[in-house]
Each structure stands twice: as C-alpha cells, then as structure tokens.
Structure 1
Amino acid sequence: MSNFNACHFETSAVRGASGGDEKTGAISFPIYQAATFKHNGLHESTGYDYSRLQNPTREELEKTIALLECGKESLGFSTGVAAITACINLLESGDHVILSEDLYGGTFRLFNDIYRIYHIEATFVDTSKEDEIIKAIKNNTKVIFVETPSNPLMRITDINMIVDICKKYNFISIVDNTFLTPYYQKPLNLGIDLVVHSGTKYLGGHNDVLAGFIVANNEELISKLRIIQKSTGATLSPFDSWLVLRGLKTLHIRMDRCQENAIKIANWLKENKNIDKVFYVGLKEHKGYDVNQLQSRGFGAMISFRVKDKNIIPKILSGVRVISFAESLGGVETLVTYPYTQTHAEIPLEIKEKLGVDEYLLRLSIGIEKIDDLIKDLENVLEE
C-alpha cells in the first residue's frame, strides 16, 4: 500500500493510515473481531497476540488518529474518561496537577473524588490567565491540563503560553482537543506533550460509539502509556474502532457544516430578546477570539448561552422538536444540554456559581441539519 502521510488532512481522513487493508484490498478496513491470535511456533508471533494488547482494527485507527494529529503514536481507549485516567496514571502519590476550572464535570470528578484518595492533588484555575497558573504552581506540580475551548463557557487558553510554562518548569502539558478536533487545532504542533480526545464526540460523529484517545510525540511518554493501557485494560474494541474509522472519513465535511450552522445560530441568539449572553468562539467579541485565531483554523460548533429568565428553561427543553434534549455533543444531530444538572452536576455548587454554570445556562452542540429548521425550532421555544 502507498504511504499517505504526505496527503492533505481531508485525504488522510478518508483513506486512513494504510489506505485500506493490505492483505485483502478491502477499501473499508476490516473488523478483526478476534480476542486472541495463534502463533506459528515458539517466538513466532504474527505481531498480534491478544486484543487487549493490540488488534489490527484498533491499530489502524490509532495510526490514523496519530496521522491526523501530527503525532508519532495514538492509543485508543474505551472512553474519553479512560484516556484521561491513563494520563493520571502517569503520576505518583503526592503529585500535583493544575487544570482548567471550566471543564467537563467528569474530569473534575476524576481528580476531586477518585484520585484525591491516592493523594494526587488538583488545583482548578482559569488557565486563560497566566498569572493564575503561575500562582497555582507548587513544588510537587507535575502536569498542566487544559481544555480549549473549555466546557461549557468556551474559554480559550493560549497553548503557546502553556507550552512555555511547562518547558520552564519541566511539567507535562495536556490539551483536551475534543471540541475542535485535529481538523481545526493541532496542539502537538505547538509543543504540547499529550493530546486527549473523547472520540465519542466529533471523531465518531454519530452518537453511536464510546471511545477515547491519547496522542503524543514523546516516545518515553508513549512507552509508559502503552504499559498503562495494557495493564488497566480499558482498550477500544475492534467494532468500536471500526465505527470511529468510518466516522473519521467525513470529519472535515461534518465539522465545516456544523461550524457554518453554529456561526448563524450564535448570531441569531445574540439578537434574541430572551438571551442575556452568548458564548461562542466564532463571535469576534468573544474574549478568546484573537488567541483562538492564532492557534487554530476554526471555531467549532459548540455554543453556550444564558437566558434572562430561568423559568423558560423547562419550556425550551421540552419544546424543541428538531433539536434533541440530550447529553453529549459532536454528533450530526443538534443537541441541547443543561449543564447545571447534567454534564456539570458533579461540580460543587460554589464552583459552579463562580464560573456561571447556573440555572440560566444552556449548551448547544450544533449538528448538520438544515439551518432554517434549527432556527425555526429555537424561534418556537424562545419567541412565543
């Protein structure tokens, strides 16, 4: 098979790392639904022994994700949270991590509830502000973990600033790139050590698979993460690997259509009398707009907005017909989520109040539907 590494992103996404199955010529890479693989003799492995260690379908996906993120290697996990957990397992008891304070509630729960008992310390700060990061540094700090854009308020962190701090203090830098995907943002190219994804979202793209990924260029980190992956066992199944491979083929088309719709909806929401504030990276007045322009080539399709009267929230959530009231994001369908009781339910009330993740906030994951239908659906619940 030809090497497609020199191709543009769109071509690499469609063709995958290998351009199809070398052995059979199958255009759609096969699902190797096997748990174990036979050996021809002593010390004669085919390269595959047991699917927890590696499976041909997962290997093809991992190589494709690495190619798209401009990384040396990628590791596929059963969920995004499993990928983040593997990153945490790089730490030792007594280590300290600095994280974005505005981030997915499941990440907060991992650090605050699960790993705290193992004496891994976490400090949550506004990582868009360098002085807050510097103030949070301790003698035992080992990692800075950021979401950019953040969830759900779409804060933008300067990735170059994070890289500079981590190099100065010899920290590991981690960026959750779920919202923008490698199509719009490539943190590894800016010097970040590890990129994580919830592959459940845009990479899969159809709300039918759970997956997570870590991508890296540092061979020492890759080696450690491989040991963690095979030892803890939360690896991605062959079928789910195939679903993500299929989803990646249309990633660029979906992202562009979702973003096109998102820009129109964000501007429409801005003018609605019932909306107090719109959080979308693609609005020029967004606080992080200029930084995002420097480090990415797109805005994504995630929007949060605050209503003026919280009493209309139930009407919105029960009244939408084209848009679905559901958790998650990144699929072809437009979803509306209520972070206060859903994605960020685990975050303590005082932190939610500080961030503005309150009873007035809604989050939209914009899909690929006809824009007229989406806006009409919002009109029906916001303007009656």
Structure 2
Amino acid sequence: MSDFDWSECALTTLAIRAGQSRTAEQEHSDPIFATSSYVFRSAAEAAARFSGKEPGNIYSRFTNPTVRAFEQRLAMLEGGERCIATASGMAAIASVAFALLKSGDHVVCSRGVFGNTTLLFRNYLEKFGVATSFVDLTDYAGWQAAIRNETRFLFVETPSNPLTEIVDITRLAALAHDRGALLIVDNCFCTPALQRPLDLGADIVIHSATKYLDGQGRCIGGAIVGSQALLDGEIYPFSRTGGPAMSPFNAWVFLKGLETLSLRMLAHSERALRLARWLETRSWVDRVYYPGLESHPQHRLAQQQQVAGGGIVSFDVRGGQEAAWRVIDGTRLVSITANLGDVKTTITHPATTTHGRLSEPERTAAGIGSGLVRVAVGLEDTADIQRDLARGLES
C-alpha cells in the first residue's frame, strides 16, 4: 500500500493499517520477520546496501521489516516523518542523549520525570562532561533562566510522572527554539491517541512502548519520533552503531497493540476520571492529582492540548508512608507493580519504587511525598477498583 494517500486517514485508521507492506504470500496480519541477517543477490548488491547507495535490509540490528512496520505506523500516528524503535524507553532516551550531546553541552530537564531519567542525566551523562539543570515543569521563568548558550535540548514528560503536571508544549518549544535548543517530550502517558507534541512545536517525541503502546504488559520497547533530517542525520547513526535494537517479535506485539490504542486510551481516561472524582470524596485522601479534574492546576491547559486526561491517577494519603503502604497492601484485585499502561490496574508507592533511587531532597523538590500513591487505571469495572482501594483506605 505504498501508493496509498495516508494523509486522508484518521488516527484510528492509521493505527490499524499504516506501515504494513504485504509479502508475496499476501498475508492479512503483519508477519514476524524472525531473522538476524539477509541474503544478497550478489557481492555488488551487498556493497551497495552497506554503503547506503541502495536501500534495503542489511542486518536486523538496524533494518528489519517488522520493526520498520512499527516505526512507520508510530511515525504516522505522531505526525512525524521518521521513527527509530529501541529496546526500551530508557534506551530511546539514552540514544537521543548520546547521539545529540558532547562534552561541554548542557541539558535542561524537568524535575517531574521518571526516576531513571533523572539518574541518566545526573549520574551518567555527567561522566561525559554533560551538565544538567533541573527545573519545575511549570516554572517558565525557571526554564528561561536555566537555558545557556551550550544548552542542546530541553526534556519534559507531560503529563509528568507521577503528579500528572502539564506543561504548555507550544510555549516551552518557543523558549527552546528562541535559544537554538530542541524540545524533547516524553509522550508515554498520553500516546498520540490523546496528544501529539510534534504538532505543538516539539522536535522529538519519546515513547516507552512497554506501556500504553503495547497495552497489556507483554514486552519491553521504546521509540524516538521526529523529522527525517534530525533522526537520520544525528540519531540513526548512533542507533545503527550502538545497537539499542527492538526485537522483531516485540515490534509485532506493539503493532497489535497500536490497533486498539485509541479505544483503550479513551477507556482508560474515562475510568481514571471516575476514580479520581471518587478519591476526592475519601476522608483519608488529602489530594488527588489528575488532569481531568477541575481541581488540577493545569486542567484548562490539559483540555487544550490533550483529547482526554489519560489513565494515571495519583493521590496523597493522610498518614505518610505507613498509611500509603496500608492502602496498597489492602488491595486484592489491583496489582502491586511499578509498571503502567496495562489493561490491569496497577498500584505503586513512587517514593520507594519508581523514584526510590533519588535522594530525599530530590524527591521533595519533585513533590513526591511519602504518602503519595500512584494508580495506573486499567480497564476493569471502576466500581471494582473503587471497592478494592476502599479496603486499604478504610483501614
């Protein structure tokens, strides 16, 4: 279907159809190309492929038809020109960092990001002479003040993990571009079904495909989406050499996940909003964090740049860590795991799991208190999730 005009299609159609290139077998479902290497018709063809003079498969570390189908489909969903699939979401972030940065460069990163992202910038890039400044996600004056002449890019998650803070992507992109820097947005919580950062001015979108792109907690994977020039010119050379490759089987699983992405994200959002409103009525809950709530500080902004609020709800339990753990341990239906994006609802205590390797001052600066609980709302009946949480809340 290479001659088909995909620009006329809606996102739900692209999620099901885009990127597929049928073989001579005329299969209806996407095939898995479980091969490490490819055979060439001649030595001359092999030389032309390796030199880049002729397009085609070379080695599955960087060219595989199943992985390519996933890349093309996700690029279309995000409104990008190019996608590079990686072995994990952290591999995607690391690939961008190693491809774009050199000693002496500078990064500005939001404090409200996944704990391992903070550690990557703070502990490892620093070893190579790259400095990172951390600022509050919604402190635009802070962003502007933190940008230096040597700043290469700004990095954000929006909504943030785990407090679901929202940044004005268009405004932040303008700040970055005015100083010659890029804006990189981790779109894990929303996916293109709910938000398209490239349309709002971002230069690169990052995904942990492990989460909602799969949707059932089956595989690990990541992705980088952006313009052809930026990805092919600066990031693909590192990806080809460094080898953070996605496996063909995992790519196939993600292709299947994308087919139901829009339906799932709207269903997650609907259930999450219902749960968040219920949590606001509980006496043992001090505060609920969810962009769909009118009480959320960036509720109006979320309505402008997101289709819906997403599936993540966090809340502060009165009584600190002891009370938060009691809530978590009181559940019987909800799964106690730090993963998210699953059809099964999950619950975790960020201060001792996803952000446990941060120092206490870092967690405090990021707003992650000892009583904070994060729920990734699945697709079970909301009443059953409420009943399960109530066991711990009422204890």
Deviation of residue 22 (structure 1)? 4.1
User: Given that residues 212 and 342 in structure 2 are in contact (C-alpha distance below 8 angstroms), is that contact kept between their aligned partners in structure 1?
Assistant: yes
Q: Does 1:30 align with 2:40?
A: no
Q: Which residue of 2 aligns with 1:308?
A: 318
User: Given that residues 148 and 157 in structure 1 are in contact (C-alpha distance below 8 angstroms), is that contact kept between their aligned partners in structure 2?
Assistant: yes
| Paired positions, count | 383
Q: Deviations over 1:108-147 (max 9, x none)?
A: 0101111111111001101312101011122321111111
Q: Which amino acid aligns with 2:311?
A: A
Distance verdict in 2 for CA 1:125–1:69, change over 3 Å: same
In 2, the alpha carbon distance for the partners of 1:181 and 1:262 equals 16
Q: Deviations over 1:161-207 (max 9, x none)?
A: 11111221110110000000001100111121100000000001111
Instruction: Give the secondary-structure state (helix, strand or coil) at the position aligned to 1:340.
Output: helix
Q: Does 1:273 align with 2:274?
A: no
Q: Which residue of 2 aligns with 1:71?
A: 80
User: Given that residues 123 and 136 in structure 1 are in contact (C-alpha distance below 8 angstroms), is that contact kept between their aligned partners in structure 2?
Assistant: yes
Q: Which residue of 1 aligns with 2:163?
A: 153
In 1, the alpha carbon distance for the partners of 2:137 and 2:119 equals 18
- Partner residue of 2:390 out of 376, 379, 383: 379
User: Given that residues 323 and 371 in structure 2 are in contact (C-alpha distance below 8 angstroms), is that contact kept between their aligned partners in structure 1?
Assistant: no
Q: Which residue of 1 aligns with 2:70?
A: 61
Runs of 4+ in 1 over 4 A off after TM superposition: none
Q: Does 1:332 align with 2:343?
A: yes
Instruction: Give the secondary-structure state (helix, strand or coil) at the position aligned to 1:210.
Output: coil
Q: Which amino acid aligns with 2:129?
A: H
CA RMSD of aligned residues (A): 1.3
Deviation of residue 4 (structure 1)? 5.8
Q: Which amino acid aligns with 1:233?
A: G
Q: Which residue of 2 aligns with 1:363?
A: 374
Q: Deviations over 1:50-108 (max 9, x none)?
A: 10121000000000000100100100000000000011111111101001111100100
- Partner residue of 2:262 out of 234, 252, 263: 252
TM-score by length of 2: 0.94
Equivalent pairs: percent with the same residue? 34
User: Given that residues 350 and 356 in structure 2 are in contact (C-alpha distance below 8 angstroms), is that contact kept between their aligned partners in structure 1?
Assistant: yes
Moved more, 306-315 or 272-281: 306-315
In 2, the alpha carbon distance for the partners of 1:276 and 1:373 equals 22
* Gapped regions of structure 1 (runs ≥ 5): none
Q: Which amino acid aligns with 1:32?
A: F
TM-score by length of 1: 0.97
User: Given that residues 214 and 254 in structure 2 are in contact (C-alpha distance below 8 angstroms), is that contact kept between their aligned partners in structure 1?
Assistant: yes
User: Given that residues 330 and 389 in structure 2 are in contact (C-alpha distance below 8 angstroms), is that contact kept between their aligned partners in structure 1?
Assistant: no
Q: Does 1:224 align with 2:234?
A: yes
User: Given that residues 146 and 174 in structure 1 are in contact (C-alpha distance below 8 angstroms), is that contact kept between their aligned partners in structure 2?
Assistant: yes
User: Given that residues 268 and 310 in structure 2 are in contact (C-alpha distance below 8 angstroms), is that contact kept between their aligned partners in structure 1?
Assistant: yes
Q: Which residue of 1 aligns with 2:190?
A: 180
In 2, the alpha carbon distance for the partners of 1:4 and 1:183 equals 20
In 2, the alpha carbon distance for the partners of 1:221 and 1:315 equals 46
In 2, the alpha carbon distance for the partners of 1:58 and 1:329 equals 23
* Gapped regions of structure 2 (runs ≥ 5): 50-54
User: Given that residues 216 and 222 in structure 1 are in contact (C-alpha distance below 8 angstroms), is that contact kept between their aligned partners in structure 2?
Assistant: no
User: Given that residues 57 and 63 in structure 2 are in contact (C-alpha distance below 8 angstroms), is that contact kept between their aligned partners in structure 1?
Assistant: yes
Q: Which residue of 2 aligns with 1:341?
A: 352
Q: Deviations over 1:230-251 (max 9, x none)?
A: 1110110100100100111111
Q: Which residue of 2 aligns with 1:17?
A: 19
Q: Which residue of 1 aligns with 2:59?
A: 50
User: How does 1:64-213 map onto structure 2 within 5 Å?
Assistant: 64-89=73-98, 90-213=100-223
User: Given that residues 326 and 335 in structure 1 are in contact (C-alpha distance below 8 angstroms), is that contact kept between their aligned partners in structure 2?
Assistant: yes
- Partner residue of 2:363 out of 339, 348, 352: 352
User: Given that residues 82 and 231 in structure 2 are in contact (C-alpha distance below 8 angstroms), is that contact kept between their aligned partners in structure 1?
Assistant: no
User: Given that residues 158 and 185 in structure 2 are in contact (C-alpha distance below 8 angstroms), is that contact kept between their aligned partners in structure 1?
Assistant: yes
Distance verdict in 2 for CA 1:298–1:274, change over 3 Å: same
Q: Which residue of 2 aligns with 1:39?
A: 40
Deviation of residue 223 (structure 1)? 2.4
User: Given that residues 193 and 218 in structure 1 are in contact (C-alpha distance below 8 angstroms), is that contact kept between their aligned partners in structure 2?
Assistant: no
Q: Deviations over 1:334-363 (max 9, x none)?
A: 000110011001222112122331210010
In 2, the alpha carbon distance for the partners of 1:66 and 1:323 equals 33
Q: Which residue of 2 aligns with 1:293?
A: 303
User: Given that residues 173 and 202 in structure 2 are in contact (C-alpha distance below 8 angstroms), is that contact kept between their aligned partners in structure 1?
Assistant: yes
User: Given that residues 4 and 17 in structure 1 are in contact (C-alpha distance below 8 angstroms), is that contact kept between their aligned partners in structure 2?
Assistant: no
Q: Which amino acid aligns with 2:9?
A: C
